[in-house]
Amino acid sequence: MKSERDTPVYRMARWFFKKIVVKYFRVEYIGLDSVKRLEKPYIVLPNHCSFFDPFLINAPIDEKFHYVVSDSSFRNPITRWLLAQTGAIAITKNTTDLTSLKKMIEASRSGKVIGVFPEGLQNWDGATLPLIESTAKMVRMLNVPIVVPLIEGAYLMGPRWGTSFRRGRVFITYKILFDGIGPGEKKTSEIIQALKDALDHNEYKCERLKGIRFKGRKRAQNIEQLIYICPQCHSISSFRSKGNDFSCQSCGYSVHYSETGHFIVKSGRAYFDNSVEWNRWQQQEASTIVKKDPGNEPLFSDDNLIYSTPDQKGTFRKRGRGSLYFYRDKLEFKDKNSQLSVYRFDSISGMNVQLHEKLEFYCKKELHRFFTVKKRFSAKKVYDFYKLCTSL
């Protein structure tokens, strides 16, 4: 009986990434020999910078990696079928999912290679996110060798908020943690610290990437999904992008996104050199805004959003269009017919951002999604403020 790896779809996908994508984006692999000699099962724990990460990591290795993938990717019949060809394991973001854990344990015990992104999601600004500490417990439980691929350059190649890919250089370095020692013999704290050390990365501080140009059109397009507070006038959701530039509609502050990913100010003074610096500042600024807010008026709002919920088959259906208002303790959605829906934070669970700009959350066990056609809605902004409000 043929393995999943031998299906025509899987073979074609592997050929495409290995022969076309890897060469086009000039991906260089480092430390591959040690992984190729490694007997399965083992677990792969990479950083997550771009959409292509799981394919680029697996491309030069014959063994199929069974990645843990957000359950939202399985809702579309086509992507569900494609993911089935790769043996992907579904997991619900930001919730406790024991079923997925059982599937991972079963897959590992049957000799398969598991792929998990310890950050939990693709980073937004080019720097590694805080790791999910429960990953260390899962690794200790599986007690199989750990392979850590560190990806450098993939964010600048294709940032999460971007509309196009940019051709530059990508480096993937494979490292085996605790070589010869099972992680089951290590403390959870030792495992998570080793992972943090191995995956610590900032695209703008990476020596290998210095001076490399990532050439492409519309490099700044839709960066307002990431950048949502203006450092000059402190307005929220005021940026609009076009081509390689973005500017504040309130005060005129304007920035150019260069081929190296650095910011060049066109109008105003230089506040930040890159997306990591800007994102860290705006999160601190958001915290200040929340702490000072009396709670009477919305902190911000987003207009012309599409509201949808899944039908019985899991396919999302449009339910209306309107404006979403963010308060310190709730979200309110008013549609074009002035019908108001209220989602109190103490009733919300599993809030996350799907793909680029789709905001999803459960409220009283019902799944809700908000997004825009032009994809300029910053769902990240809503998520960041929500986390701040619910942590106070």
DSSP 17-76: IIIIIHHHTTEEEESHHHHHTPPSP-EE-----STTHHHHHHTT-SSPEEEEEEGGGGSS
Please say if the pLDDT value at position 8 is more than 90: no
Contacting residues for 2 by C-beta, under 8 A, at least 6 apart: none
Shared domain for 154 and 32, answered yes or no, is yes
- CATH number of the domain where residue 321 is located: 2.30.29.30
Shared domain for 339 and 275, answered yes or no, is no
Please say if the pLDDT value at position 182 is more than 50: yes
d(Cα 286, Cα 70) in Å, to the nearest integer?
A: 27
Q: Is residue 215 part of a domain?
A: no
Q: Is residue 285 part of a domain?
A: yes
The residue among 292, 320, 346 that closes a domain is: 292
Torsion angle, CA of 212/217/222/225, rounded to 10 degrees? -20
Q: Is residue 217 part of a domain?
A: no
Compute the half-sphere exposure of residue 373: CA atoms within 13 Å on the CB side of its CA: 4
Shared domain for 189 and 248, answered yes or no, is no
* Residues of the chain above pLDDT 90, percent: 74
Q: Which domain holds residue 10?
A: 4-209
Phi, psi of 167 (to 5 degrees): -90, 120
The total of structural domains in the chain comes to: 3
d(Cα 194, Cα 190) in Å, to the nearest integer?
A: 6
- Angstrom CA distances, 187 to 44, 109, 120, 146, 162, stand at 19, 22, 21, 14, 39
Q: Which of 212, 205, 123 is nearest to 167 (CA)?
A: 212
d(Cα 320, Cα 334) in Å, to the nearest integer?
A: 9
Shared domain for 341 and 372, answered yes or no, is yes
Mean pLDDT over each residue of the chain, to the nearest integer: 91
- CATH number of the domain where residue 142 is located: 3.40.1130.10
Shared domain for 164 and 82, answered yes or no, is yes
Q: Is residue 199 part of a domain?
A: yes
More confident residue, 355 or 20: 20
Average the pLDDT over each of 5-14, 278-287, 345-354 and give the range with the smallest value: 5-14
Give the pLDDT mean for 266-280.
97
The residue among 274, 292, 310 that closes a domain is: 292
d(Cα 302, Cα 333) in Å, to the nearest integer?
A: 10
Sheet holding 254-257, edge to edge: 239-242, 245-248, 254-257, 263-267
More confident residue, 14 or 178: 178
Shared domain for 318 and 365, answered yes or no, is yes
> What is the residue type of 66?
H
Shared domain for 89 and 111, answered yes or no, is yes
Q: Is residue 235 part of a domain?
A: yes
Shared domain for 307 and 267, answered yes or no, is no
Shared domain for 311 and 174, answered yes or no, is no
Contacting residues for 109 by C-beta, under 8 A, at least 6 apart: 41
Q: Is residue 214 part of a domain?
A: no
Maximum average pLDDT range among 96-105, 250-259, 311-320, 364-373: 250-259
Shared domain for 284 and 156, answered yes or no, is no
Shared domain for 49 and 126, answered yes or no, is yes
d(Cα 253, Cα 112) in Å, to the nearest integer?
A: 52
**Token pair recorded at residue 78:** 């086509």
- Angstrom CA distances, 88 to 114, 227, 249, 280, stand at 9, 32, 43, 33
Q: Is residue 218 part of a domain?
A: no
Shared domain for 266 and 123, answered yes or no, is no
pLDDT at 374: 84
Please say if the pLDDT value at position 324 is more than 80: yes
Give the pLDDT mean for 308-325.
92
pLDDT at 1: 31
